[in-house]
Amino acid sequence: MNKIIAGMCSHYEWADAEHWKAFAALPEALKDETLFKTLYHIHFVQSAFLYVLRGERPVLKRAEDFTEPEMLRSFAADTHKSLKELLSGISPDDFETEVRIPWAKKEFMPATKEKAFMQAFMHSHYHRAQNARRFRELGGAPPTTDYIMWCWLGEPAAAW
């Protein structure tokens, strides 16, 4: 297994779980359309990359399918669990296997599994920062979820 990808995957899940815990502490935040749409987008894309990494055609849920925030949180936790299970079965050579990202422009295809994992991590980080800012605007205090903070804390597992 690729240690960097494994660590990033663990951090990625931990950071999402920390944000969900903070949002639950300020329930009105999850009623905010901007915050909720970005949360949905994060987990939608994570799920899409899970399908791509499995070599499957994405079958994705729509935002309207999540009528309660808990449904989206549970979907996120399940996606993370599935990504970790997938990662545990990938050999070092498999990381160089090409995957097709169906929503990418033709001139950008293909990518390797390693790069697809990294894109999923970085994309989530980008949008998690947007949600942290929005959460602060709504009166909340977003958790610090930087990678280095996770390392300093002893690389804790996600607590959903």
Burial tier of 14 (Cβ tally within 10 Å: 0-12, 13-18, 19+): buried
**Tens of pLDDT along 26-83?**
999 999 999 999 999 999 999 999 998 998 888 888 889 999 999 999 999 999 999 9
Domain total in the chain:
1
* Segments forming the whole domain that contains residue 91: 3-152
Q: Is residue 21 part of a domain?
A: yes
pTM of the complete model beyond 0.85: yes
**Tens of pLDDT along 100-156?**
887 777 666 678 999 999 999 999 999 999 999 999 999 999 999 999 999 999 999
Q: Is residue 76 part of a domain?
A: yes
Angle at alpha carbon of residue 136, lines to 10 and 122, rounded to 5°: 30
Domain containing residue 8: CATH number: 1.20.120.450
Q: Is residue 57 part of a domain?
A: yes
Q: Is residue 17 part of a domain?
A: yes
Q: Is residue 159 part of a domain?
A: no
Q: Is residue 157 part of a domain?
A: no
Q: Is residue 111 part of a domain?
A: yes
